Structure formats: structure tokens, C-alpha cells
Amino acid sequence: MNSMNEIFTEETLQELFPPQRTADFFEALFGDADEGAYDIALSFKGQESKTLQFSLDLHERPGRCLACNLTSGLPEVFSRHKVIDIAGLVADVEKKLGGATRCSDWELGRTQQMSRSLHCIPLQITLA
């Protein structure tokens, strides 16, 4: 099997979580995709034993404010929001693994403030 870094390239990550999903999320939330304070991107952080480490990276949009009070409750929102669709994302990750293993569980961690303009929500996917 290919290494996880070879599977989860930048191209694959954008396929799994396309930029349009951010627009769709804010369209559903506010009725206008331009109202959001951030763009969401998926990044792959690596593998620890039987856990794949991803992150939903919230990048502040120009002229907007990425405040902690906007992002601290997002793990709970993202875990059940139909547009973000974490369960569907995990199913798509499993497909990228080509049958070599299955994804048995997933968990979103607490929002982490990496910088003023970047907050990250850890996504851990447990492999069977």
C-alpha cells in the first residue's frame, strides 16, 4: 500500500473537501456565501498507529475577523452539519484507501488557534 502521504496529496485533499463546500456552508448558514469570515481547507497531518490525523483549517478571509468566539463551537456544528458532512468525508477517505483498511470511527477535536488568521479543527479517523 502507498504511504498515507502519497495518498493524501494536496490534490486529493481538495477533491475530498473542495473549496465550493465553504461557499455552500455559508450559503446555507447566512443565505450568502460571501458572508463567511473564513475559508475551510482539509489538510493531512499524518498517521499515528491506527489513526489518521487530518485538520479542517479555517483561513481568515481578507477584511474579516477570525475570532475565537466564531470558531470555538464549530466542532459540534461541523460534526452534524449536512453541508460539511464529516461522515461522508470519512467515507470518501476510506474509498481513497482502496480497500486496504476501513475507517471505523472519527472524532473532531477542539478548535486550536494557530495564529490570528488560522484556526484548526483536528479530525481523527480511526482505522479498523
Task: Identify the pLDDT of residue 2.
Answer: 61
Task: Identify the pLDDT of residue 81.
Answer: 96
Which residue, among 61, 66, 63, has the nearest Cα to 114 in the 3D structure? Answer: 66
Task: Identify the pLDDT of residue 93.
Answer: 98
Which residue, among 32, 81, 82, 103, has the nearest Cα to 61 in the 3D structure? Answer: 32
Residue 53 cell numbers, joined: 490525523
Count of domains for the chain: 1
Low-confidence ranges of the chain (pLDDT < 50): 1
pTM, full prediction: 0.93
Task: Identify the pLDDT of residue 68.
Answer: 74
Contacts 24+ apart (CB under 8 A), 104-108: 104/128, 108/56, 108/75, 108/78, 108/79
Q: Which domain holds residue 82?
A: 4-127
